């Protein structure tokens, strides 16, 4: 693979490893172990395995390595470690770098399971966490301490789509020597330049846009070779959150088409948001690519003007109206994944964010009328017509 290749070329050819049969499509190496020619070779490999030498699938596997190399090329990271799910990636990144007595600063607008790790798990091991409003740089500055080891945030938050300034937060964190760990799912690896912008560690749930067709769970942590192989890999390989070779193959094939898919989904999301913005049944249309979004300027500099593939609609009339709207849709399915080829609608207050109390929901803007809409690959005119009839159906 040439470093000069553009993104789409790297996603088709990056990381490829061919067997003695010279197959065109990537092989699935469904094997947990590897045979050594001699006892001496086994001994040598346990002392130090080369980049293309494998011991046991929990440590690494050729299909998994192809996925890791291809996603590292997309993100512009030195290295990557693939994990069994997005949450195994978040847990691994944080737990491998932190120890009792450390302090973490985190944005409070988080995916429910990320919040659980920061609020419940880390505190049980003596790590203190301060939560801030991620869009307020003064709060980040005020929260830093000499023992702050890491900051954590979703670069685009779920489901309210706030965009956090990676460059500015990284400067603040680096001034006290803290690592910047970014959950980058909503920004997508296609639009993100998080590592260039200052992030030390970038995490994806590969279950979302990387698979892109709702088939497999997976995740990945990206960073420097030092962090990935020196800090994260020992933690992951001994605690067991490694990606299965079969899922790695599904995700590897997902990367072949990710540039096309995510660009098409983002273009449709912008069309839908622009069309529905100001609709009389809506309190608000939230989409980072709309000029009225609070961080629209940052979206231009941080994401090349791309607002992502998800929008959120705040329906007038609260939960009852939101449910009528959801039940009237005929194309989008009601589910809780995102980044899929199928459009997916979610009611965060009663599903993904049900665990939060009313004060927390209110603080994060998760209103009873809020519907998250992940835009798929259907014809955008069909989606707009269906959303418009579902909005009209609320009052009928």
Interface residues with ligand PLP (CB under 6 A) are 85-87, 111, 113-114, 154, 158, 183, 185, 205, 207-208, 217, 219
Distance CA 112, CA 374 (A): 18
For residue 262, what are its two tokens?
């995510």
Name the residue nearer to ligand PLP (CB basis): 173 or 251. 251
Contact 79, 229 (CB under 8 A): yes
Name the residue nearer to ligand PLP (CB basis): 79 or 154. 154
* Helical pair 62-75 and 245-276, crossing angle rounded to 10 deg: 30
Among the listed residues 143, 145, 140, the one whose alpha carbon sits nearest the alpha carbon of residue 166: 140
Among the listed residues 205, 172, 200, the one whose alpha carbon sits nearest the alpha carbon of residue 187: 205
Name the residue nearer to ligand PLP (CB basis): 157 or 259. 157
We find the least distance from the C-beta atom of residue 379 to ligand PLP, in angstroms, to be 26
Distance CA 358, CA 14 (A): 46
Name the residue nearer to ligand PLP (CB basis): 302 or 380. 302
We find the least distance from the C-beta atom of residue 160 to ligand PLP, in angstroms, to be 12
Closest residue to bound ligand PLP by CB: 86
DSSP states of 62-91:
HHHHHHHHHHHHHHT-SEEEEESSHHHHHH
Name the residue nearer to ligand PLP (CB basis): 164 or 390. 164
Contact 394, 139 (CB under 8 A): no
Among the listed residues 263, 122, 252, 281, the one whose alpha carbon sits nearest the alpha carbon of residue 190: 263
Residues 6+ apart with CB under 8 A from 29: 61, 62, 63, 245
Number of residues assigned to the chain? 396
We find the least distance from the C-beta atom of residue 109 to ligand PLP, in angstroms, to be 10
Name the residue nearer to ligand PLP (CB basis): 206 or 391. 206
Count Cβ atoms below 10 Å from residue 160 Cβ, excluding itself.
Answer: 17
We find the least distance from the C-beta atom of residue 184 to ligand PLP, in angstroms, to be 8
Name the residue nearer to ligand PLP (CB basis): 111 or 373. 111
We find the least distance from the C-beta atom of residue 217 to ligand PLP, in angstroms, to be 5
Distance CA 320, CA 317 (A): 7
The dihedral of CA 306, 370, 203, 246: what is its sign?
negative
We find the least distance from the C-beta atom of residue 308 to ligand PLP, in angstroms, to be 12
Name the residue nearer to ligand PLP (CB basis): 113 or 263. 113
Distance CA 310, CA 378 (A): 14
We find the least distance from the C-beta atom of residue 85 to ligand PLP, in angstroms, to be 3
We find the least distance from the C-beta atom of residue 330 to ligand PLP, in angstroms, to be 26
Name the residue nearer to ligand PLP (CB basis): 205 or 231. 205
| β-bridge partners, 221 | 81, 203
We find the least distance from the C-beta atom of residue 113 to ligand PLP, in angstroms, to be 6
For residue 242, what are its two tokens?
């490694």
Contact 272, 387 (CB under 8 A): yes
We find the least distance from the C-beta atom of residue 89 to ligand PLP, in angstroms, to be 8
Name the residue nearer to ligand PLP (CB basis): 19 or 336. 336
In the chain, count of helices (H) and strands (E)?
Answer: 16, 12
């Amino acid at each position: 693979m040439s470093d000069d290749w553009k993104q789409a070329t790297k996603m088709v050819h990056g990381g490829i490893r061919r067997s003695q049969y010279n197959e065109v499509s990537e092989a699935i190496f469904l094997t947990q172990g590897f045979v050594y020619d001699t006892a001496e070779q086994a001994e040598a490999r346990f002392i130090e395995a080369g980049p293309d030498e494998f011991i046991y699938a929990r440590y690494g596997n050729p299909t998994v390595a192809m996925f890791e190399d291809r996603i590292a090329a997309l993100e512009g990271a030195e290295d990557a470690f693939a994990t069994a799910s997005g949450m195994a990636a978040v847990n691994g990144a944080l737990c491998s770098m932190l120890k009792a007595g450390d302090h973490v600063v985190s944005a409070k607008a988080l995916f429910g399971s990320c919040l659980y790790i920061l609020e419940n798990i880390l505190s049980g091991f003596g790590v203190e966490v301060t939560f801030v409003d991620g869009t307020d740089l003064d709060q980040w500055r005020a929260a830093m301490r000499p023992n702050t080891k890491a900051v954590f945030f979703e670069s685009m938050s779920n489901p309210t789509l706030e965009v956090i300034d990676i460059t500015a937060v990284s400067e603040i964190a680096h001034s006290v020597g803290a690592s910047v760990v970014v959950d980058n799912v909503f920004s997508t690896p296609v639009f993100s330049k998080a590592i260039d912008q200052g992030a030390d560690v970038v995490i994806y749930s590969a279950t979302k846009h990387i698979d892109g067709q709702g088939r497999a769970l997976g995740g990945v942590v990206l960073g420097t070779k030092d962090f990935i192989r020196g800090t994260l890999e020992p933690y992951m390989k001994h605690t067991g959150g490694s990606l299965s070779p079969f899922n790695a193959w599904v995700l590897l094939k997902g990367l072949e088409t990710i540039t096309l898919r995510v660009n098409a989904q983002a273009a449709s999301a912008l069309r839908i948001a622009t069309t529905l913005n100001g609709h009389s049944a809506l309190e608000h249309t939230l989409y980072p690519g709309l000029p009225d979004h609070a961080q629209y300027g940052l979206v231009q500099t941080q994401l090349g003007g791309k607002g992502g593939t998800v929008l959120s609609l705040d329906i007038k009339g609260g939960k009852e109206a939101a449910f009528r709207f959801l039940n009237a849709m005929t194309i989008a399915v009601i589910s809780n994944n995102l980044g899929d080829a199928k459009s997916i609608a979610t009611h965060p207050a009663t599903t993904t964010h049900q665990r939060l109390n009313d004060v927390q929901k209110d603080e994060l803007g998760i209103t009873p009328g809020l519907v998250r809409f992940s835009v798929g690959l259907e014809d955008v005119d069909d989606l707009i017509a269906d959303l418009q009839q579902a909005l009209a159906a609320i009052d009928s």
